[in-house]
Structure 1
Amino acid sequence: MRFFLSLCILLFAFPVYSMDVSPYSIGQKLTTKQALELTQKANNRPVQDWKLPNQSPDNEPNASSIKYGIALLSDTTKLIGPKSSDPKMRYSGNSLNCVNCHLAGPSNLPGTVPLGIPYVNVMNDYPSFRARSMRIGSAEDRVNGCMVRSQGQGKPFPSDSKEMIAIIDYFKWLSKGTQLNQAMTGTGLPKVTFPDRKANVQVGQRLFGTFCITCHGAGGKGQPSATYGKDGSYTHPPLAGKDSFNDGAGMSRLKKATRFIYGNMPKGTTAQNPTLTVDQAYDIAAYVESLQRPMKAHREKDFPNPRFRPDDYAVPAYFKGDKAAYDKAKYGPYPSPS
């Protein structure tokens, strides 16, 4: 009886948020027809207004876990980076913090900026169909996808690790008060109409020198902190080189990088009041994508069903020596809008 009461208290404290993927289950591989039907089902969900928790996590029964999740996402490099003082804690493979892409709002909570790849509705958006694997993926799968791509040559968290539990606890706390199995305004990145042309790397380099170099440094190598030698941290993140995301990360794709830059850069920009034009963001993104970065092994196994491959994911094996098709995937032009 005591166990039952404890379980009820836990469930009421943190309801099980999830997207309805019935009749499928996490890990299940889908056919093309099943994937299309489930994608349409997800796209047709009701859309709720943007919502953040109206109180701090201090009074939650698992406040310490939520706060640890916040710390992991905010100070990823120092806590679990490749120079962590505890070798067992070296999960991340580079010097990026999760909050570098999942931007923090005025509260300094990671993933709370509208159209800045927020976390606020993540527990209502998973489990979901993942085109990269053609399987149903969980929120935990999505976290680990970032660990081995956006976090360079990182390694996945065990599902029962203190770190994974803390991150998911934070996601659940962000979802408190939201409507089960609904989409939300402000998630993802802004939609844009892409220029009907190939992106210009040379123009992008010049624009980078005007708008980006002060923070991200020459060649996109970032600004190492005073303690870089000890903990590998940066005051402003690198966009290239060994300390940045690898070529299997979402941000390695030109369209996604364009949308992120347009809606969120330079620092302080919002999607509602952008600084750059889409054309400028497009060319800057092309320059960033032209820079050297770590390579993800076995990218040719990503997106096994060609129908679901992003048109800006430039993997040589997909194009079987067709250089023109490869270059178009890397630098456009692309169909619009997106």
Structure 2
Amino acid sequence: MAEIGRWRACGAALLLAAALSGPLAMAQSEPAVRDVVVWDVPALDQLPDDDFGRLARYGRSVVEATYAHIGPAVTDEAARFAGNNLACASCHLEAGLKKFGLPLVAASADYPAYSTRSGEVASLFDRVNQCMRRSLNGRPMPEDFRPMRAILAYLEVLSTNVPHDAAIAGAAAGRMPELDRAADRARGAQVYARECADCHRRDGLGVRRNETLPQMGYAVPPLWGDDSFNDGAGLARLITLANFVHDNMPNGTSWVAPTLTPPDAWDVAAFVASQPRPRLAGLERDFPDLLLKPVDAPYGPFADGFSQEQHRFGPFAPIRAEIARLKAERGAIDNPNAR
């Protein structure tokens, strides 16, 4: 494992040097086509019973039951870094081991990397803390805090056999055909009542394991409300949420045999995305180059002239076309709030 760590460090240093030599060029060019590798994930329970093995296994526990380790109701007040009682595995299904369930298998291999959201080169530590601030609606953890070190160790193990220049099969949440219309929230409410409410409840607030002990987390996570992810999270974006729903929901669904049609998934995702949730201050400073902002970012400012409503619910093809035109004409457009 020490050799793996040295190899990772060497690869990370080379990537960081490349990123620092030309981050703007990296940001504005199309992503390079990468070899796709099959999964080859080491068995965590077969790691040696040494400091690293124990730390990585603890990291799996933190990912699976985040609320019990760093949630807002844990006994140690100094450890309350998460602002809700979700788990990392609420979004990264099967502790990051489900294809098209926002897997974590290549996370360690993907960083450091240029972040269009921050305009800087981000480490994996930085990326985990972005999840802390957004999906877990909390605050950043220090790098030497044991749960943070444990998460990083777990992610390192998952990426052991993923080269830095490769992608994994089953990455992210998949990609289904987009609609040529705006996603329909009213129709989505009907899909939600039919397909989702039995598990997530009609009010979308999920099912706690114990109503009097929030540190025990959720048997079924909330989709909106005060204890859900905030409006800066990845799942607050329609494209990510709709694909995630299509490939994974209702619970037990696989991308191999989706339950929902693509229009149903788009519409129910729009309904969920339109519901109230915590707000993250400072979102207007995201994406220093506004032409690198995702077309479905649900908050401004925007450089393309389209409304916030269309950025939230589509259709997205006209936005992409205008952004392509602006890139060709101007290259970049500075976000006035970024500094």
Q: TM-score range by the shorter chain?
A: 0.7 to 0.9
* Paired positions, count: 316
Distance 1:34 1:99 in 2: 31
- Deviation readout 1:229-252 (Å, 9 max, x if unpaired): 452622100011110000000100
Query: Which structure is richer in relative contact order (CA contacts within 8 A, separation 6 or more)?
Result: 1
Q: Flag the 1:265–1:14 CA change in 2: closer, same or farther, 3 A.
A: farther
Normalised TM-score (structure 2): 0.86
SS at match of 1:188: coil
Distance 1:56 1:36 in 2: 42
What residue in structure 1 maps to residue 69 of structure 2? 79
What residue in structure 2 maps to residue 89 of structure 1? 79
What residue in structure 1 maps to residue 330 of structure 2? none
Distance 2:8 2:49 in 1: 16
Runs of 5+ in structure 2 lacking a partner? Answer: 321-339
What residue in structure 2 maps to residue 123 of structure 1? 108
Normalised TM-score (structure 1): 0.86
What residue in structure 2 maps to residue 286 of structure 1? 270
- Please report how far the alpha carbon of residue 311 of structure 1 lies from its aligned counterpart in structure 2 after TM superposition: 0.8
| Contact preservation (8 Å) 1:14, 1:172 | no
Q: 1:21 aligns with which of 1, 4, 15?
A: 15
- Say whether 1:56 aligns with 2:68: no
What residue in structure 2 maps to residue 198 of structure 1? 182
Distance 1:316 1:35 in 2: 20
SS at match of 1:16: helix
Distance 1:237 1:217 in 2: 10
| 4+ residue runs over 4 A deviation | 17-20, 28-31
- Please report how far the alpha carbon of residue 254 of structure 1 lies from its aligned counterpart in structure 2 after TM superposition: 0.7
Distance 1:275 1:318 in 2: 35
Amino acid at match of 2:83: G
- Deviation readout 1:104-159 (Å, 9 max, x if unpaired): 0xxxxx1000111111111211111111011111111110000000001x011111
Q: Flag the 1:191–1:90 CA change in 2: closer, same or farther, 3 A.
A: same
- Say whether 1:331 aligns with 2:316: no
What residue in structure 1 maps to residue 251 of structure 2? 267
What residue in structure 2 maps to residue 143 of structure 1? 128
Q: 2:150 aligns with which of 153, 163, 166?
A: 166
Amino acid at match of 2:2: L
- Say whether 1:304 aligns with 2:288: yes
SS at match of 1:59: coil
- Please report how far the alpha carbon of residue 15 of structure 1 lies from its aligned counterpart in structure 2 after TM superposition: 3.8
- Deviation readout 1:196-248 (Å, 9 max, x if unpaired): 10111111011001111111112211112225445262210001111000000
Distance 1:186 1:302 in 2: 28
What residue in structure 2 maps to residue 235 of structure 1? 219
